[in-house]
């Protein structure tokens, strides 16, 4: 049964094996919650995958040069799937399931951020930090079991960004990874995991 509220864990059990997040090679706790973008329309029919979650690890307390890995250690067949203009994703077809993982395309978003900063784009609000995120996405792990991120700047500086209610804005300091899987008994399994992770 899906959890209603985010829960903290160091290993999230799935039908594909545990999902883990590591900082400099050591497991760290992260928040895991049901994904809200969990609907794929095929010929006007809404379809939902067997699993759709978002894992978020805070970068606060991390230092420039630290690495974060988000992975399924039991899966070594992920291949990059293209994503879209602001996201990247990877997919795998396993014996019983299709799997997809996705995240922000930090390279593209940083390029857009820099351009809009140079143009003094008021729609972006105040430019309080040199980067949009204190981290960058580096690509797939060497084992093709997940994604690698690197801390590029002091995450504490990104706490300056606040939501409308004044609370810290976690999209600037958290690394978020979308996880989607669906049984291969569905002929759309590969399509749905690809679509929902990009």
Write out pLDDT tens, residues 125-176. 788 999 999 999 999 999 999 999 999 999 999 999 887 787 878 889 999 9
Which pLDDT tens digit goes with each residue over 70-98?
A: 999 999 999 999 888 899 999 999 999 99
Predicted confidence (pLDDT) at residue 64 exceeds the cutoff of 50 = yes
Q: Nearest 5°: CA angle at 99, between 93 and 104?
A: 130
In terms of phi and psi (left: phi > 0; alpha: psi -120 to 50; beta: otherwise), the region of 45 is beta
Angstrom distance (rounded) from CA 114 to CA 119: 9
DSSP H helical ranges for 3-153: 106-118
Q: What is the mean pLDDT of the chain?
A: 93
> Structure pTM?
0.93
| CA-closest candidate to residue 195, choices 18, 49, 62, 27 | 49
Q: Pairing state of beta strands 97-104 and 30-34?
A: unpaired
């Amino acid at each position: 049964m899906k959890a209603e509220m985010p829960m903290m864990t160091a290993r999230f059990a799935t039908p594909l094996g545990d999902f883990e997040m590591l900082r400099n090679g050591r497991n760290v706790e992260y928040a895991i919650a049901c994904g809200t973008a969990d609907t794929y329309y095929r010929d006007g029919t809404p379809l939902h995958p067997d699993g759709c979650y978002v894992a978020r690890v805070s970068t606060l307390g991390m230092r420039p040069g630290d690495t974060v890995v988000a992975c399924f250690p039991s899966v070594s067949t992920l291949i990059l799937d293209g994503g879209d203009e602001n996201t990247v994703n990877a997919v795998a077809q396993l014996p019983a399931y299709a799997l997809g993982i996705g995240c922000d395309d930090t390279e593209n978003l940083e390029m857009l951020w820099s351009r809009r900063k140079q143009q003094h784009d008021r729609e972006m609000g105040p430019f309080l930090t040199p980067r949009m995120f204190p981290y960058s996405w580096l690509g797939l792990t060497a084992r093709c079991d997940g994604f690698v991120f690197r801390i590029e700047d002091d995450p504490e500086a990104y706490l300056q960004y606040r939501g409308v209610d004044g609370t810290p804005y976690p999209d600037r300091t958290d690394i978020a990874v979308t996880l989607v899987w669906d049984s291969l008994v569905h002929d759309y399994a590969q399509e749905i995991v690809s679509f929902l992770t990009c």
